[in-house]
Amino acid sequence: MNSNREEKKLLTYTYIFCLICFLNLSILHWTKQGLDKTAIVVAVVVCGLITYAHFIIRKFFPDGDKYIQIFACILTVIGLVILYRINAVYAIKQVIWFVVGITGFIILVVLLPDLKSFAKWKYFYLVCTVILMAMGTLFGKEKYGAKNWIYIGEYGFQPSEFAKLFLVAYLAAALKKYTQNKDLIEPAIVVMISLGFMVLQKDLGSALIFFGISVTMLYIATSKVKYVATCFGLFAAGSVISYKLFSHVRLRFLIWKDVWKYANDKGYQIVQSLIAIASGGLFGTGLGLGHPEFVPVNSTDFIFAVLCEEMGGLMGFAVIILYFLLFYRCMRAAVYTDDKFSALVAVGYSSMIATQVLVIIGGVINLIPLTGITMPLISYGGSSMITTFFALGILQKISEEATSVE
């Protein structure tokens, strides 16, 4: 009962935050007809979706961890608010992707059978991973310097986003039976092929995410520090080779090393991001009072800078804490389940989200070389939204199957 009460309280705060922010935005977009009614409609629709999803999960699947869905929805609301501030059309499209994502979340929880039975499909996951990885290299079109977009008519998607789901499932199935060193040969080859495709596509952000997922799952499966150390050594060697072979890698490193030297050309994005974050201070300029138009790629790669400028550094910290809480709840599913395959899948998807957050925030504040990826659930993008909610749906299912989740 206490858990149920806390969930309702957290949902209430989410509704209040959503309604207040979109009411503020409707006033900012005041027209001759009065308030911007679209903003109010978006707020009502989003609150309705969150309520419906929570009702279904709580009513028919009461045993699992409901905070996974709640924290994910809070982050989505924050993203929609910032996107509406930047571009209302993007926000409306993102609502559609949110509908698809949350629907997929519910369907996976309702229809997915016992996850243990999926461990035998190892080679299916392997084939899907390789095909999706190769698609960007063979048929992709370049966007923002990375050749990782596939277009069907006017619609585009990133195959690597969906490949992450299959790679985690494959590694979980392969590492589930680990007993000796030779059991690691095949997974190691698959990971190296995946990283190779990412390097060829100049998608350094995805390469870092794939590496983070693989190393985390390897350590959880084997508990051997020497394997992790070896992976870092190989990754360092690969980074040096990439630096020597590819000019875009050298450029990213040089910008990271001295961003102000390239402030007017190649480092312009990061400089504008740093200025936006600094100008927001702790409490922000206020929603609608900043200048997101000065921040390039502000709806995807640099949305965190816009958020910090208008809502403040404290809000930026709050978002990081929310991601940490989401990661914590996802990892709890791995701790409580008694099936190794399910536990490894939970670890893989949890580390996927955490690594993506660390990489993009680190790049935006110039802590690490910039890699163009999205912030899960907050940045604009259908591929990221759908894959993240699919991963969370599987994590929710694992928590439902666990022997004892509070």
182: in domain = yes
Average pLDDT over residues 94-118: 89
Of 310, 331, 328, 330, which Cα lies nearest the Cα of 320? 328
Is 251 a member of any domain? yes
Check pLDDT > 70 for residue 31.
Answer: no
Q: Is residue 191 assigned to a domain?
A: yes
Position 310 in a domain: yes
Reported pTM: 0.92
For 218-241, the pLDDT digits (tens) are 999 888 888 889 888 988 888 888
Tell me how many degrees the CA angle 41-47-48 measures, rounded to the nearest 5. 85
Domain-embedded: residue 39: yes
pLDDT category, 403, cuts 50, 70, 90? very low
- 111 domain residue, yes or no: yes
Question: Residue 271: is it exposed, middle or buried by C-beta count within 10 angstroms (0-12/13-18/19+)?
Answer: middle
Identify whether 338 is part of a domain: yes
The per-residue pLDDT of the chain, averaged, comes to: 87
Assigned domain for 406 exists: no
Range of the domain at 125: 2-401
* Domain count across the chain: 1
Q: What is the pLDDT of residues 275-328, one digit of tens each?
A: 999 999 999 998 888 899 998 888 888 999 999 999 999 999 999 999 999 999
Complete edge-to-edge strand list for the sheet that includes strand 146-152: 141-143, 146-152, 155-157
